[in-house]
Amino acid sequence: MKFPSDDALNEASETVEIFGQKGVSRRDFMKFCTGMAAILALPATFIPKIAEAVSGQKPYVVWLEFQDCAGDSESMLRASKPTIASIVLDVISLEYHETIMAPSGKNAEKSLMDVVNNQKGKYIAIVEGAIPLKDGGVYCCIGGRSAIDIAKEVCGNAAFTINVGSCSSWGGIASAKPNPTGAVGVGEAVPGITYVNLPGCPMNVENVTATIVHYLTFGTLPSVDEKHRPYFAHGKTVHDNCERRAHYDAGQFVRQWGDEGHRQGWCLYEMGCKGPVAHFNCPSIRWNGATSWPVQGGHGCIACAADHNWDEAYPFYSRLPNVPGFGIESTADKIGAGLAAATAAGLVLHGVGRAISSKKEE
């Protein structure tokens, strides 16, 4: 079978061969480059450039973990198309990651400082977890140093920082009220650094890879919004791309877990779905090898990538007070009722029409 991007990749045949020697099939490599172009909303003509970029440079990367649950590390390790082992670790040089690195103790800290001292201004810092500022930052210490102290040095000397997950983006669950440790995101804790936020609980590894691929391909970070989120990943709402959207537009809502509407895959707005106010490309890239995502699984979106969702999107099972796009006063009930009335009127007219036709036929 010939893929539309085949011709583009033929231009990068040398690169394909390099990855072939590493056990990555041509098909997988093609899928990777095509997928990255799609996520970044680039035309197919950029595929050879992406292929060349990911096979050439190999930037040093250090991955820091502060107030976290390691969910973003898990998300990264679960990358399946391609696997992190086959592509990502061939594209980057991961020098420090507490959860997966072999060295421990002083040797591990030496690995980190070697990069900071020898690759100043050239390496990428990836941060997972919030940074506590209260009481001098004593609530998160690694190797005898506070998280804020480490972040200032490591992020301050990096080419740029990628904050993965909602905790490093803006504090996440660690900063939920009453925020006992004074947890904040990296951007707030270390002002002045160059950074990108990839929120989500957890972040999606496809977006991290795409951010790095963009940097390798163009030498710049992708364009971001006022919250430092790349537009390619957070430019649209979940609601914009949701597969249940047609049911929302038709006023077909699940009213109770397990009811007929739920079985039919209707809209989860009434069950508390926060998709209309959540900006994330979850519905298009999905999870677990792109097999599914929460709304497809039958649960409403909890706006995990939204700023301070634990306080502001809560309670998760109460519906949003209004429906964007239908006026501030509109509610699902009103829309549903309006559509139902219109449909009923249509059916009545249809019925009248049929009755007239039958009469004529008689």
- Return the residue of 48, 276, 294, 336 that touches ligand SF4, per CB under 6 A: 276
- Return the residue of 47, 140, 155, 268 that touches ligand SF4, per CB under 6 A: 268
Residue 234 sits in the site that holds ligand SF4 (CB under 6 A)? no
Residue 198 sits in the site that holds ligand SF4 (CB under 6 A)? no
Residue 262 sits in the site that holds ligand SF4 (CB under 6 A)? no
Residue 174 sits in the site that holds ligand SF4 (CB under 6 A)? no
Residue 214 sits in the site that holds ligand SF4 (CB under 6 A)? no
- Return the residue of 129, 275, 294, 336 that touches ligand SF4, per CB under 6 A: 275
Residue 78 sits in the site that holds ligand SF4 (CB under 6 A)? no
- Mask 290-329, x = binds ligand SF4 (CB under 6 A)? -----x----xx----------------------------
Nearer residue to ligand SF4 within complex by CB, 187 or 275:
275
Can you give the chain as a three-state secondary structure string? CCCCCHHHHHCCHHHHHHHHHCCCCHHHHHHHHHHHHHHCCCCHHHHHHHHHHHHHCCCEEEEEECECCCHHHHHHHCCECCEHHHHHHHHCEEEEECCCCCCCHHHHHHHHHHHHHHCCCCCEEEEECEEECHHHHCCCEECCEEHHHHHHHHHHCCCEEEEEHHHHHHCHHHHCCCCCCCEECHHHHCCCCCEEEECCCCCCHHHHHHHHHHHHHHCCCCCECCCCCEHHHHCCEHHHHCCCHHHHHCCCECCCCCCHHHHCCCECHHHCCCHHHCECCHHHHCECCCCECCCCCCCCCCCCCCCCHHHHCCCCCCCCCCCCCCCCCCCHHHHHHHHHHHHHHHHHHHHHHHHHHHHHHC
Least CB distance to ligand SF4 at residue 342 (A): 19
User: Of the listed pieces 21-29, 50-58, 267-275, 341-349, which binds ligand SF4 according to CB under 6 A?
Assistant: 267-275
Least CB distance to ligand SF4 at residue 86 (A): 33
Q: What is the largest CA-CA distance in the chain?
A: 95
Q: Applying CB under 6 A, what is the total number of residues that bind ligand SF4?
A: 15
For residue 348, CA distances in Å to 334, 342, 355 come to 21, 10, 10
Least CB distance to ligand SF4 at residue 306 (A): 13
Q: Are 309 and 166 in contact (CB under 8 A)?
A: yes
Nearer residue to ligand SF4 within complex by CB, 75 or 237:
237
Residue 251 sits in the site that holds ligand SF4 (CB under 6 A)? no
Least CB distance to ligand SF4 at residue 172 (A): 22
β-partners of residue 60 are 93
User: Of the listed pieces 31-39, 140-148, 189-197, 268-276, which binds ligand SF4 according to CB under 6 A?
Assistant: 268-276
133 Rama class: left (phi>0) / alpha (psi -120 to 50) / beta: alpha
Least CB distance to ligand SF4 at residue 273 (A): 3
Residue 248 sits in the site that holds ligand SF4 (CB under 6 A)? yes
Nearer residue to ligand SF4 within complex by CB, 12 or 313:
313
Nearer residue to ligand SF4 within complex by CB, 185 or 300:
300
Least CB distance to ligand SF4 at residue 240 (A): 8
Please report, as ranges, the residues that interact with ligand SF4 according to CB under 6 A.
238-239, 242, 244-245, 248, 267-269, 273, 275-276, 295, 300-301
